[in-house]
Chain A
Amino acid sequence: MRVYHFTEQPYPDAWDKDPDSIRATLPSKWCDPVKAADLYHEYLDAWQLADELGLDIFVNEHHSTSTCLTASANLILGILARTTKRARLLGLGFPIANNPHPLRIAEELAMIDVISRGRLEMGFVKGVPYEIHPANSLPVRHTERFWEAHDLIMKALTTHDGPFSWEGEFFQYRNVNVWPRPYQQPHPPVWISANSVPSAVPIAQRGHVLGTVMTGYKAKALFDEYRRAWAAAGKPGPVPLDRLCYAGFVGVGKTRAEGHRRGNLVMAYLRTNAIVGEAFKNPPGFIPARPAAKMITQTGSMTFLSHDLYAKDGSNLGEFTKADLQGTIDGGLMFTGTPDDVYRQMVDFYDTVGGFGHFLMMAQAGTMNYADTAENLTLFAREVLPRLTDYHRKRQKEMGLPVPALA
C-alpha cells in the first residue's frame, strides 16, 4: 500500500473574514505574504519529512482561495522533485479542462518527471464547480474539453518523432513537440479523480488509476463499477489494486485523546471547504440540465450540491460538512485515534470497499501546526504503515492478485 501525505496548504487566518465565501471572492488583502511564506515553508517541510519517513506525496491545486495556497500543483512538485529523494510525487491534480494551455501542462509534467528521475504520478481532475469562475472556464461541455485535453497531453508526452499538429474542438496547436521526454516510459502513471459512479467507466476503459476523494463507503460502488468496466473493456484478469485509490483524513496520536484532537484539527477542512458564494456552487451547465433538473426536482432547491455522509450499513449520517468526529469515523472519511485504532478502522474500511492500493491521507488541515503534523505523519509511518502494508500484501495474495515488489 502506498500512502501519500496531503495538505491543501491552507491559510486559515482569513477564514473569519467573510462568513459567506472564503473562496473565489475573498480579497487578498487578507493574505499577509510574510505569514504565507512561513506556511509554504512549513508545508514543504512536512512533505520533506514524509519523504524521509517512507510516505509518498500528494499535491492538488485550487485558485482564488484561502483554503488552498497551492495555485499551481506543478510549482510545488517542481520544488519537491529536486528536494525529495524517494517519494512518489502525485499531482491530483491538474484541472486540465480549466487551463487554456494543456500543452504547457504537458511540458511541466515532463520536466517534473525528469527532474525527479521518474517519480511523477500524473493526475487529472475535472475540479470542483467553484473553480469555474476563477479559471474563466466555460462550464458547458466541460467533460468534453477535459477528455480532449487528456488526449492531447497523452499524445504530446508519447510522441518522440517530431512535431504533430492538433486541431481539435477546444485546442489548436501547429507544432506540438515536447522537450524533455518523460523519464518514465512510455509515460508517468495516469490518475483521474471521480466521485460519481458513471465517471469510473472512462477511467477503467483507459486503465488509469481511479482516485476517489472523501466519498466514504460510496467508494465501493465506484470500485465495483471500475471492475465491471475494466472487464467489459476486455482488459485481462482482475483489476490490480494499484488501479484503485481512496482519499481520507487521518489524526493519529500516542493516546486516543491526542489522536482525536488531531483528527478534529484536520476536520477544519470539512467545515470550511464549501464556504463559497451561492452562484459559484453550481455554474450553469457544469452539471448538464437534464440530470440537474432531476436532482433539483428531488431536493426542491436550485442549489442542490449537498454532500450527505453514509454509514457502513447505508444509513444517512447527514450533511458531511456538519458531521462531528464520530460521524466522520462512521462515514469512512476519518481514521483517528491510537495507531491501533487507525489500523483497525482502515482495515475495516479497506475490506468493506474491496481493497485499494493507494491511500491519500489528509494529515494536515486548518490551523494544525508543524509539530502536530510531524507527529501525525511519524506515528502513521512508523506504527500504521508497516502493518497496513503487510495486510495489503496478504489480502492481494488471498484475492489471487499479483503482489508488487516492496518499494
Chain B
Amino acid sequence: MLDNPPDAAPFVSVNAIKTELVRRGKGNPLVFLHPELGIGAGAPVLDRLAARFDVVAPSLPGYGRTELPRSYSSVDDLAYFTLDLIEMLDLRNLVLVGVSIGGWVAAEIATKTTERVAKLVLVNPSGIKTGGPTHRDMADMFALPQKELEAAAFHDPRHARFDPQAATEDEVYVRLRNRESTVLFGWSPYMYNPKLLGRLHRIKVPTLVLWGASDRIAPADYGRAYARAIPGARFETIEKAGRFPHIEQPQEFADRIAAFAA
C-alpha cells in the first residue's frame, strides 16, 4: 500500500480492526455511514456536516483502507463493528446517518439498540425486501454496464466520472476494494436481509427516510415502504440527486439533516 494516500484519513483501532476515521467539527455527535462508494476524507459533505455536528465518519471494514477481518461476511458484521466504534468513542445522543448500504447498516443497528441513538436518518437505504420472488426492489448494480449504472445511480452522471488512467494504482485499488466488499456483503440475497423488514418496528427513535428523487437503482416507493415499517418515520425527497444525495446535493443534504436533528 502507498504511504499517505491523498484522500486517506487517520487510523484508529476498533476492536483491533485498523480503521480509517474522519472526525471533524463541533456539536452533537453525528455518525455518517458511507454508501458502496466509500467516503474520502476530502468529501465536501463532511465539511458541510461538520459546520453543525461532531462528525464521526469511519470507512467500514473492507472499504477505503480499513481492514477486513476474514470472519466478516455480512452487513450484520458491519452493524456490530459500528456499535463497537460508538461505544469506544463513548458517543451519546447521536444522530445516526447512513446512505445506501450505509443506511442498511444504520437500520440494522437501530433494530438492535438505540441506547445511544437520538435520531436516525436513512438515505436511499437498501436492506429490505418488499415484494415477491420475481419482484426486483433494486436494479442489479453488478450486472449493469458501467455507463448504465452511473446513469441509474446519479441525477447527473458527471458526478460518477472516474478515469482509471488519471488515477493512481492506490486510488484504483480503493475503488475496486469498495466494490469487492459490497459484493461480499450484498451479493445474495441481493442487498437485503430477509429478516430486517420484520424487525424495523423495533426502531423507537425519530426517523427520517430521505430519498434522492432521481435514484433509478431503487424507486421512491421502496423508500416509502421502508418509512411505513418504522413507527412514526418521516419520508422526504431531495431533488436533483440520485442514490447518493450527499455527493450531488451536499448542502441540501446537511441542511435537511440539521433541520430534522434540531
Q: Spell out A's residues near B (CB within 8 Å).
A: 133, 136, 138-141, 277-280, 283-285, 288-290, 292-294, 296-297, 300-302
Contact = CB atoms under 8 A, between A and B. Distances in A.
A138 B187 CA distance: 7
A302 B188 contact: no
A292 B172 CA distance: 9
Given A138-B187, A278-B145, A289 B176 contact: yes
B146 A297 contact: no
12 contacts: A133-B142, A136-B188, A138-B184, A140-B183, A279-B143, A284-B180, A284-B182, A285-B183, A294-B169, A297-B168, A301-B164, A302-B164
Most chain B beta-carbon contacts within 10 A, residue among A133, A139, A296? A296
B145 A289 contact: no
Nearest to B148: A279
The prevalent SS among residues of A at the interface is: loop
Given A139-B183, A284-B142, A293-B170, 11 more contacts: A133-B142, A140-B184, A277-B143, A278-B145, A279-B146, A289-B176, A290-B173, A297-B167, A297-B169, A300-B164, A302-B146
Interface residues of B, number: 24
A33 to B, nearest CB: 23
B164 A292 contact: no
B184 A285 contact: yes
A292 B176 contact: yes
B224 interface: no
Contact of B169 (A133, A283, A293): A293
Contacts of B168: 297
Interface in B176-190: 176-177, 179-184, 187-188
Nearest to A299: B164
A292 to B, nearest CB: 5
A290 B187 CA distance: 20
Interface string B137-175: 000001111100100000000000000110111101100
Nearest to B182: A284
A172 B188 CA distance: 18
A171 to B, nearest CB: 14
A292 B173 CA distance: 8
A280 B169 contact: no
Given A140-B184, A300-B165, A279 B173 contact: no
Given A289-B177, A293-B173, A300-B164, A283 B184 contact: no
Contact of A293 (B172, B181, B188): B172
A133 B142 CA distance: 9
